[in-house]
Chains A and B, each alone.
Chain A
Amino acid sequence: MNPPLHRSRKAVSTIVANLLIMAMVAAVGTTLFAWTVTGYGAYQSQVSFYLSDRSSSAKERFIIEHVWFVDGDDDGLYDQVELYIRNIGTIHLIIEEVYVDGVKEDVTTPELPLELGMNQVGKLEVTLTEKVSPSALKEIEILSSRGNTYTVYWEAR
């Protein structure tokens, strides 16, 4: 009959002890490594998105090269404005919004968003919310999908 376990002078054998420590180190190491890799992955993803966004935004350049007010109903007041927008950046451009004197204009031809490739010029016909008197100075602002804006001040004529 074997002696009872509690009477042994060793808690666990050397082999079991080593195996336990190795298992613990492996478990902690694997967890730590997985956490690190996941964390760096998430970080890289966020940074990648941020830098890509900034890079795209930096590549974007556009201008309103001409503004032409139109008196469609021949009542002496301008009811429409044509904007000639040129993409001078190194990336395609999407115009999302148009503002005249700070008022967002929703009725446009073609409908927004207006997409322009590199070196392309687009014509946007905007139906004005408020008619414009001849010689009035108007602030016209266009907003791109990347958050860049371009503003011109134009005398209606």
Chain B
Amino acid sequence: MRLFKSRQGLSTVIGGIFVVLITVSSLNAIFWMLVQQETLREVTEQMNRLDTERFSENLEFGNPALVNFTSSEAGYEFDVVVSNVGGVGVKVARIYIYSNSSDLLTVLDEQESPTVPGITNNFLDSGELEKRIHVKTDRNLNDGALYTVKLVTERGRIFTAEYQRSTSAVWASQVNLGPIRLDLTYTSVNYTSPSQTTPAPGWVVPGATPLVWYVKLTNIGPYELKLLKQSVFYAMEFKESGNPVPEAFFIVSPLTDYPGGTPGVVSYDEDNDPYILLPNAQGDYQAGGPPLIVKFSATEMGGDTPRDLSSSTRYIVFIGLYYEVNGEQMGVTIPFVAIRTT
């Protein structure tokens, strides 16, 4: 009460009050900043924890990676066999399926109902082994092509497996003639073109387009065989009437990739870079030596100009193989495949 009764020192008190107010404001600002910094630190810590969890994810595919194939009018179903060998539980959020021989991409998310394509049984506890993620799709993965199956987890990790059904299990046939064997499976006769730069099954190929044929040969004899430049992939037009037109694709260098590529079609040099079919190294000749992919494309013997086929035409194909064995020249003609063009 004395303070208010005395007029002396009142300005000092007022000044003091302002100093206290300013100090409190400063402290408040500093405290607020600390709280904000702490909030940012917590966010950073939380994200670091999530990153750590993401990098702790580790899935390993089984061998084989895809099993239990079934098919019905509703589509195709199979299981992806995966083990979670990481330190955290993993949810597979999406699967991508594609192959090099097709321009179709299949994308599958968690199944919304049993009748639509999608994935189920897609959460893996840490340490869970041989988990089977069930996949329902409208795509057949058992056509012999090489498929890539990519699993994406909810945290953003990606795990990839490749799958190719053993062609012998699907459909296999062989033609043996003399010391040479040709496989007749879906993937054993392939082609490339300017737009198909990697070998794809060649049963239906584009017409009026330069082609390179890839044929798998195996030596089932006891001696080395060297293919000669006269060897030819001979496509005979199939017509109900009239004269059929033959189209000869002569053998080209192993360096050949696809018409228009680099190096493109390279002429066959049987002296310096020939195809050599080796016999079975263990003496089990019927098992065959290492398979060799032999390429045909040239319009003339020893040439490097690729040939094409007429559009919308059917062809019956023969293979004439000229070869040298033990210094002697021999040859075989093999009725081979029937193909058509678009």
> Interface on A for B, CB 8 Å cutoff?
14-15, 18, 21-22, 24-26, 29-30, 32-33, 36-37, 40, 43-44, 47-48, 51, 54-55, 58-59, 61, 63, 65-66, 68, 70-71, 74-76, 82, 84, 86, 88-90, 119, 121, 134-135, 157
Contacts and interface: CB of A to CB of B under 8 A. Distances in A.
The interface size bin for chain B is 35 or more
A58 B25 contact: no
A77 B226 CA distance: 37
B103 to A, nearest CB: 7
Contact of A36 (B11, B25, B93): B25
Contacts of A48: 36
A152 B46 CA distance: 25
A61 B100 contact: no
Interface stretch (B147-155, B215-223, B333-341): B147-155
Interface stretch (B14-22, B172-180, B239-247, B317-325): B14-22
Given A25-B11, A36-B26, A58-B40, A66 B47 contact: no
Interface in B101-132: 103, 105, 107
A25 B14 CA distance: 7
Contact of B195 (A25, A68, A71, A82): A71
Contacts of A66: 96, 105, 107, 150, 152
B29 A43 contact: yes
Given A33-B22, A36-B26, A90-B47, A63 B195 contact: no
A88 B195 contact: no
Main secondary structure of the interface of B (DSSP, over half): helix
23 contacts: A25-B12, A25-B18, A29-B14, A29-B17, A29-B18, A30-B18, A33-B21, A36-B25, A40-B29, A51-B36, A54-B40, A55-B40, A61-B47, A61-B50, A63-B158, A65-B158, A84-B96, A88-B54, A88-B154, A89-B47, A90-B50, A135-B197, A157-B198
A18 B44 contact: no
A137 to B, nearest CB: 14
Contacts of A74: 195
Contacts of A68: 98, 105
Contacts, number: 106
B10 interface: yes
A90 B51 CA distance: 12
Contacts of B14: 22, 25-26, 29
B96 A40 contact: no
Q: Which of B11, B100, B194 has the most CB of A within 10 A?
A: B11
Contact of B22 (A36, A54, A63, A86): A36
B156 interface: yes
Contact of A65 (B8, B17, B100, B156): B156
